[in-house]
Structure 1
Amino acid sequence: MQHLDPDRLVLLSLAEEAADEHESAHLAGCATCRDELRTLEHVAELGAESADMRDLPPPPESVWAGIQAEVARATAPTALPRRRLRRIPSGDRRRWLAPVLAAAAAAVIGIAGTAVVMRGLDRPPAADVTARATLAPLPSAPPDARGDVRVLSDDEVVVDVQNLPLTTGFHEVWLIDPDDTTKMLSLGNLPARPEAVLPVPPGTDLNRYRLVDVSDEAHDGDAAHSGKSLLRGTLTY
């Protein structure tokens, strides 16, 4: 059976042109051409999935060198004039098509891999932990309640608490001056999950406000500390 021109299959896989009536009829009856078209379409889909990767550096030269080598090995032994491509036997067609498809897939993977690496390089370095505190339960909390606090170098505090009692209000995190417990700063409310990341107010002296407190607050519109402390711990450096 005479097969469709491989160049034509490439165009059809890229949706550059629609199959005409003869080609549609041929594809309906030729399993070889259908399989090759599906394979080409799959490679085209891989390329389309990476289309949103803009403003990326070119892939490494080794990717393109590998593609050129594969294509050269695939085409050199069986290179035929363009007018005879329609008469390539199915076995030779597969030997010609397989490495070319592999090379195309390698290009897509290489570009995607470059994107992942560059995106990783663009990420800011992870913040360092500059201070820690272990939160212990006070008499108003269950004995198994506990928490851990980490102060990060980017002026954020990571608060991880467990086994706090249920509340009809909310739990709030405070920084307190242990030398004068009337001096305190609110870091914010704890969400309905164990861990929260809260910003440290600009200009806060953590050497002074080194006592971390978790309180039980009511929805009463009063921004002051309720006086119901559940957990406490002191920051250490």
Structure 2
Amino acid sequence: MTTHLDDDLLARWALGDEAPDGPAADHLQSCQRCAGSLAELRQVLDAAGDLPRLESPPAEVWSRITDELSLDPDRAEPTVIPLPDARRTPNASVRRFRGRALVAAAAVAAVLGAGVGVGATLIVQDDEKPTVQAVVPLSALEGRSGTGTADLLKAASGEQLKVTASGLAAAAGYYEVWMINTDGKRMVSLGVLDPSSAGTFQLPAQLIAQGYRIVDISLEPDDGNPEHSRNSIIRGTLPA
């Protein structure tokens, strides 16, 4: 019976913590199964780095949201939600990596051109045309200008959000698309929006069902800070 390489060892090689050597390296050269597992882990790690991130929103952002949704501000304190980082988990198993692979496969990242800063638009291509589940207007917040629409789509790869904006001022920095939870505690960044064209973003599974229904477009400075800038420009809410 063939003995295959340990899952933790393959994970460490994929993470770059160790390099194949000795008998293990010889086995890797001759075993298609182990070589395929290592290649899969490396692909997942590359894709995992482009998944949407969860951020802790600034107090000013939540103050506006709680006012709009008539939430009790004392019960709507934002909380930090840490995400596991596979690159920092040397003992991660193949099963864990394959679980993340299912998520990563649903979000194909296309990094925008130079000068964009942080963030990436998640563009999805499906053989079948997505169906429209809901369309909501995006309206300018007080003291801001611009308008737009957010289309919630159902595609073969899952739910998508198509965002179209117009009238956004040309300003230093970049525009970013966020999904804000109606509980007043959490938000997810989907990526960068080109204000001159529509952007289509793959939504993580069950995101809308979990209450992330507020579509927020913010103007972000190109300063390398991944947190919300507190400068929301247009916003709308998807139906429950």
Question: Under TM normalisation by the shorter chain, which class is it?
Answer: 0.3 to 0.5
- TM-score (structure 1 length as normaliser): 0.44
Structure with larger RCO (C-alpha < 8 A, sep 6+): 2
Task: Write 1 or 2 for the structure with the bigger share of helix.
Answer: 1
